[in-house]
Amino acid sequence: MGNQQALVGHDRAAATLRAQYAALPQGTPVRLAKSTSNLFRFRDPATRTLDVSRFAGVLNVDADARTADVGGMTTYEDLVDATLPYGLMPLVVPQLKTITLGGAVAGLGIESTSLRNGLPHESVLEMEILTGDGRLTRLERGDEQFRAFPNSYGTFGYALRLKIELEPVKPYVELRHVRFDDPAVIAEHIDADFLDGTVFGPGEQYLTIGRFVDKPTHRPSDYTGTEIFYKSIRERSADLLTVRDYIWRWDTDWFWCSRAFGAQIPWVRKLWPKQYLRSDVYRKVVAFDRKYGVTKRARQLRGAPDREPVIQDVEIPLARLAEFLEFFHRDIGISPVWLCPVKLRDGTTWPLYPMDPDTLYVNVGFWATVPLAPGQRPGHHNRLIEQVVTDLGGHKSLYSESFYSREGFWRLYDGERYRAMKLQFDPDGRLPDLYDKCVRGS
Neighbour tally for 179: CB within 10 Å: 12
Give the model's pLDDT for residue 31: 76
- Determine which helix (DSSP H) or strand (DSSP E) holds 297, and give its type and residue range: helix 294-302
Burial of residue 219 (CB within 10 Å: 0-12, 13-18, 19+) is: exposed
Give the model's pLDDT for residue 38: 56
Which candidate, 177, 233, 181, places its Cα nearest to that of 203? Answer: 181
- The predicted-structure confidence for 310-348, as pLDDT tens digits, reads as follows 999 999 999 999 999 999 999 999 999 999 999 999 888
Radius of gyration of the chain, Cα coordinates, nearest whole angstrom: 21
- The predicted-structure confidence for 228-256, as pLDDT tens digits, reads as follows 999 999 999 999 999 999 999 999 999 99
Q: Give the Å distances, CA to CA, from 67 to 9, 220, 299, 414.
A: 20, 29, 51, 31
Q: Do 226 and 233 form a contact (C-beta atoms < 8 A)? A: no
Q: Which domains does the chain have, with CATH numbers?
A: 4-169 (3.30.465.10), 172-187+207-287 (no CATH), 294-422 (3.30.70)
Q: Give the Å distances, CA to CA, from 315 to 51, 241, 353, 354.
A: 34, 28, 10, 11
Helix, strand and coil content of the chain, in percent to the nearest 5, comes to 35, 25, 40
The answer, yes or no, to whether residue 39 has pLDDT greater than 60, is no
Residues 6+ apart with CB under 8 A from 143: none
- The predicted-structure confidence for 162-179, as pLDDT tens digits, reads as follows 999 999 999 999 999 999
Mean pLDDT of the chain: 91
Q: Looking at 134-243, which runs of residues are DSSP E strands?
A: 136-140, 157-168, 172-180, 194-201, 204-213, 238-242
Percent share of the chain, pLDDT over 70: 96
The answer, yes or no, to whether residue 1 has pLDDT greater than 50, is no
- The predicted-structure confidence for 8-30, as pLDDT tens digits, reads as follows 889 999 999 999 999 888 877 77
- The predicted-structure confidence for 74-111, as pLDDT tens digits, reads as follows 999 999 999 999 999 999 999 999 999 999 999 989 99
Q: Give the Å distances, CA to CA, from 375 to 62, 235, 303, 334, 378.
A: 59, 41, 16, 21, 10
Question: Quick one: pLDDT band at residue 43, thresholds 50, 70, 90?
Answer: low
- Point out the least confidently predicted range of 146-150, 275-279, 294-298, 431-435: 294-298
CA triple 365-154-12, angle to 5 deg: 125
The answer, yes or no, to whether residue 45 has pLDDT greater than 60, is no
Determine the average pLDDT of the residues in 258-283.
93
pTM assigned to the model: 0.93
Q: Do 357 and 348 form a contact (C-beta atoms < 8 A)? A: yes
Taking each helix axis from N to C end, the angle separating 321-331 and 380-391, rounded to the nearest 10 degrees, works out to 160
Q: Give the separation between CA 381 and CA 305, rounded to whole angstroms.
A: 15
Percent share of the chain, pLDDT over 90: 77
Give the model's pLDDT for residue 37: 63
- Determine which helix (DSSP H) or strand (DSSP E) holds 434, and give its type and residue range: helix 434-438
Question: Quick one: pLDDT band at residue 128, thresholds 50, 70, 90?
Answer: very high
3-state secondary structure of 433: coil
The answer, yes or no, to whether residue 34 has pLDDT greater than 80, is no
Residues 6+ apart with CB under 8 A from 155: 132, 422, 426, 431, 432, 433, 434, 437
3-state secondary structure of 51: strand
Q: Do 84 and 106 form a contact (C-beta atoms < 8 A)? A: no
The answer, yes or no, to whether residue 136 has pLDDT greater than 60, is yes
